[in-house]
């Protein structure tokens, strides 16, 4: 699993206190021009941190310190002219990086914002405020109480262990729910109050306990794909080659799935071969033609993946078939089974995964699943975004582009995993397809448009064109509302 990489510039009061409070799950490098500051940081209990005594206004120093590989850069210098110069160099030479900086004067804050930095005003800022931005998963309430993170605001994840449960079933002596914010209303909780997904709640208790409670409340409780099911539904037509079953065997092993259900006319003839090639005894059959599979699936059987070899999909829908038929088949299959669909193309193991983050894709939902997968795959994750054209795209599209990048960085912070963001230029379909050859797995969702052949000519469907033209195995995540 890749650690989230932080670069902290400045080990004054804010920097050293921040360093003491940051989780050891982060991979941290610090730069300070005074070598004594680094020595003190080590003596204060952070021997795991890499310390560099150098001038951070130098592009070369930033380069050698890992600024290009860092996921988040935090500038805590309190001498404004130096602070501004560091952020200017970062903006000019390391564009696209998430930078959190301490602002001092109104003019300086405005300048920092022009450098695309997220600014914490020094007069209002605290270490807790910066921690909130870095860690994201919950927000500590400061300025009241003991100031020891004993009060927090968190949002209930739809797949949290504690979602949809009454408070009486989860009561603890070490923490309590103080208030619930739900759909614009304030709820004072009682014993029978049920915590609902997306509730924002105030929790109070021992700071150490609240760390664990925040994790339970704000994270999924099962690793992908077990939240969907524990078996593979493999769509076959009898023309599968050994590499196809090798990929299914790989999927079974890395995702800890327990069995296979074969679907397709004549699938019984493949039973012994599948048991041998996939090294698993629990193989059953659903003797149903693939074309009718969506209507034959029972929701009583839950599948972690629906696996469709590219060859089976091509045989089911020849090149002259209407795109609308293919789209409807895949979306109905995913919706009926409430499962991810994996179109296999033999590009395993999945060491490098790319997520297509373009218009209409639910980036947050897809990236949540991507980040959960990496704990099992120990792979590299790259989000592919395409910069809108300033000549033909609207200001709203430009804003969405910036929000998408920020959401990806925020999720990277929550899961404490490193996510690269590749910003591509030009036509989204061509740019992403050309970029996929260095990856093993493409991830996106089923947000394409189901439209007729004529409509598809006048209004191209970018995500569908990427999926059908991808040279690598492609995973389609069910849309968010389908999985709740």
Q: Is the peptide bond before 225 cis (omega within 30 degrees of 0)?
A: yes
Residues 174 and 235 in one domain: no
Question: Which tens digit of pLDDT belongs to each residue from 182-239?
Answer: 988 999 988 789 999 888 899 888 776 676 677 677 765 556 787 788 899 999 988 8
Q: Answer whether 363's CB lies under 8 Å from 263's CB.
A: no
Q: Is residue 261 part of a domain?
A: yes
Residues 325 and 448 in one domain: no
Q: Rounded distance, CA 10 to CA 290, Å?
A: 61
Q: Range with the lowest mean pLDDT among 52-61, 81-90, 94-103?
A: 94-103
What is the reported pLDDT for 377? 81
Q: Rounded distance, CA 238 to CA 415, Å?
A: 41
Residues 287 and 207 in one domain: no
The enclosing domain of 400 has a CATH number of: 3.40.50.620
CA angle (49 as vertex; 44, 50 as ends), nearest 5 = 125
Question: Which tens digit of pLDDT belongs to each residue from 51-69?
Answer: 999 999 999 999 999 999 9
pLDDT at 453 over 80: no
Q: Answer whether 308's CB lies under 8 Å from 329's CB.
A: no
Residues 174 and 123 in one domain: no
Residues 241 and 285 in one domain: yes
pLDDT at 286 over 50: yes
What is the reported pLDDT for 483? 33
User: Dihedral of CA 19/22/23/29: which sign?
Assistant: negative
> Considering 312, 344, 376, which residue would you say is the last residue of a domain?
344
What is the reported pLDDT for 244? 93
pLDDT at 282 over 90: yes
Residues 19 and 127 in one domain: yes
> Considering 327, 344, 361, which residue would you say is the last residue of a domain?
344
Return the higher-pLDDT residue of 56 and 143: 56
Q: Is residue 127 part of a domain?
A: yes
Determine the average pLDDT of the residues in 140-168: 74
Residues 356 and 475 in one domain: yes
Q: Is residue 225 part of a domain?
A: no
Q: Range with the lowest mean pLDDT among 216-220, 221-225, 454-458, 462-466?
A: 454-458
Q: Is residue 223 part of a domain?
A: no
Q: Name the band, by pLDDT with cuts 50, 70 and 90, for residue 482.
A: very low
Q: Rounded distance, CA 193 to CA 168, Å?
A: 8
> Considering 91, 120, 135, which residue would you say is the last residue of a domain?
135
Instruction: State the residue range of the domain holding 289.
Output: 231-344
pLDDT at 396 over 50: yes
Determine the average pLDDT of the residues in 7-36: 88
Split into its structural domains, the chain has a count of: 4
Question: Which tens digit of pLDDT belongs to each residue from 419-437?
Answer: 899 999 999 999 999 999 9
What is the reported pLDDT for 375? 66
What is the reported pLDDT for 393? 79
Task: Give the pair of three-digit tokens for residue 296.
Answer: 């034959």
Beta-strand pair 27-31/50-52: parallel
Residues 447 and 357 in one domain: yes
The enclosing domain of 214 has a CATH number of: 3.30.70.1450
Report the percentage of the chain scoring pLDDT > 70.
Answer: 86
Q: Rounded distance, CA 406 to CA 39, Å?
A: 34
pLDDT at 250 over 70: yes
Task: Give the pair of three-digit tokens for residue 273.
Answer: 């071969």
pLDDT at 6 over 60: yes
Question: Which tens digit of pLDDT belongs to each residue from 26-57?
Answer: 899 999 999 888 888 888 778 889 999 999 99
H and E: helices and strands count for the chain: 18, 21
Residues 336 and 364 in one domain: no
Residues 9 and 128 in one domain: yes
Q: Name the band, by pLDDT with cuts 50, 70 and 90, for residue 92.
A: very high
Q: Rounded distance, CA 261 to CA 230, Å?
A: 11
Residues 374 and 265 in one domain: no
Q: Is residue 378 part of a domain?
A: yes
Average pLDDT, the chain: 84
The enclosing domain of 30 has a CATH number of: 3.40.50.720
- The beta strands (E) that lie in 60-150 are given as 72-75, 98-103, 118-121, 139-140
Determine the average pLDDT of the residues in 255-267: 90
What is the reported pLDDT for 446? 85
Most confident stretch, 135-139, 334-338, 448-452 = 334-338
Residues 45 and 94 in one domain: yes
């Amino acid at each position: 699993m890749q650690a989230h990489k932080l670069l902290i510039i400045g080990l004054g009061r804010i920097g050293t206190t921040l360093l003491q409070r940051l989780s050891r799950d982060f991979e941290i490098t610090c730069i300070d021009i005074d070598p004594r500051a680094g020595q003190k940081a080590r003596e204060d209990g952070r021997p795991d941190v890499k310390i560099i005594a150098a001038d951070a206004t130098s592009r070369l120093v930033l380069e050698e310190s890992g600024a290009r590989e860092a996921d988040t850069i935090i500038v805590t210098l309190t001498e404004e002219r130096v602070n501004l110069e560091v952020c200017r160099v970062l903006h000019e030479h390391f564009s696209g990086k998430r930078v959190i900086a301490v602002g001092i004067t109104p003019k300086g804050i405005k300048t920092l914002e022009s450098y695309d930095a997220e600014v914490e005003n020094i007069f209002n800022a605290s270490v807790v405020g910066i921690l909130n931005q870095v860690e994201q998963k919950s927000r500590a309430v400061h300025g009241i109480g003991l100031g020891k993170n004993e009060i927090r605001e968190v949002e209930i994840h739809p797949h949290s262990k504690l979602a949809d449960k009454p408070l009486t079933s989860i009561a603890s002596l070490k923490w309590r729910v103080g208030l619930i914010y739900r759909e614009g209303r304030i709820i004072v909780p009682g014993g029978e109050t049920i915590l609902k997904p997306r509730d924002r709640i105030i929790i109070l208790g021992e700071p150490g306990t609240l760390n664990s409670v925040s994790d339970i409340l704000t994270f999924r409780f099962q690793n992908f794909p077990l939240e969907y099911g524990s078996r593979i539904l493999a769509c076959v037509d009898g023309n599968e080659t050994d590499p196809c079953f090798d990929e299914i065997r790989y999927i079974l092993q890395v995702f800890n799935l327990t069995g296979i259900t074969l679907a397709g006319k004549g699938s019984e003839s493949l039973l012994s071969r599948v048991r041998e090639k996939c090294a698993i005894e629990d193989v059953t059959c659903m003797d149903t033609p693939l074309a009718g599979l969506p209507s034959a699936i029972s929701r009583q059987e839950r599948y972690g993946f629906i696996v469709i070899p590219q060859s089976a999909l091509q045989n089911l829908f020849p090149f002259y078939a209407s795109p609308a038929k293919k789209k409807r088949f895949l979306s109905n299959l995913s919706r009926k089974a409430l499962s991810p669909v994996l179109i296999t193309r033999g590009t395993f193991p999945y060491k490098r995964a790319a997520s297509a983050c373009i218009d209409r894709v639910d980036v947050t939902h897809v990236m949540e699943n991507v980040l959960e997968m990496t704990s099992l795959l120990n792979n590299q994750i790259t989000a592919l975004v395409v910069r809108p054209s300033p000549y033909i795209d609207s200001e709203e599209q430009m804003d969405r582009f910036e929000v998408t990048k920020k959401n990806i960085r925020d999720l990277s912070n929550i899961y404490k995993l490193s996510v690269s963001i590749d910003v591509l230029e030009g036509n989204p379909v061509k740019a992403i397809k050309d970029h996929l050859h260095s990856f093993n797995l493409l991830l996106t969702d089923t947000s394409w448009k189901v439209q007729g052949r004529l409509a598809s000519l006048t209004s191209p469907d970018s995500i569908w064109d990427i999926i059908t033209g991808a040279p690598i195995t492609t995973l389609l995540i069910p849309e968010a509302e389908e999985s709740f």
